[in-house]
Amino acid sequence: MTRTTDGSENAMTDMLEMPRVHECTVTDCGYNHDGCHAFAITIGQQNANCATFIDTSAKGGLDRVIAQVGACKRSDCQHNAELECHAPSIRVGPGQDIADCQTYQPR
């Protein structure tokens, strides 16, 4: 947690500083319409896949693009500490699965 100037912890600041989904090229996802419109995504264990991916033509999510990484299950990634992503931002695109974290780097 981030400490404020008076020494108290500020969880809200930490939440606002989660890594952004800088780019998602998976156009078949219901959250992707000119960028990822999910509030937060989860990176799964298998192939660092985007576990939030939904294969549908229906479009959902928020009105504006603010997608961020809420959780990352790849504890073997160099950007992962305590199941949280600490990369400045990530990219999602096709890999071994239809939607994988392209920023994933094994330790």
Give me the DSSP letters along 31-64.
TBSSSB--SEEEE-SGGGBBTT--B-SS--S-SS
The CA distance from 52 to 68, in Å, is 11
Q: Is the residue at 80 inside a domain?
A: yes
Q: Is the residue at 78 inside a domain?
A: yes
Q: Is the residue at 38 inside a domain?
A: yes
Q: Is the residue at 67 inside a domain?
A: yes
Q: Is the residue at 11 inside a domain?
A: no
pLDDT in tens, 68-89: 999 999 999 999 999 999 999 9
pLDDT at 64: 87
Q: How many domains does the chain have?
A: 1
pLDDT in tens, 24-50: 999 999 999 999 999 999 999 999 999
Confidence band for 13, pLDDT divided at 50, 70 and 90: very low
Q: What is the mean pLDDT of residues 9-37?
A: 83
Q: Is the residue at 5 inside a domain?
A: no
Q: Is the residue at 49 inside a domain?
A: yes
Confidence band for 10, pLDDT divided at 50, 70 and 90: very low
Q: Is the residue at 57 inside a domain?
A: yes
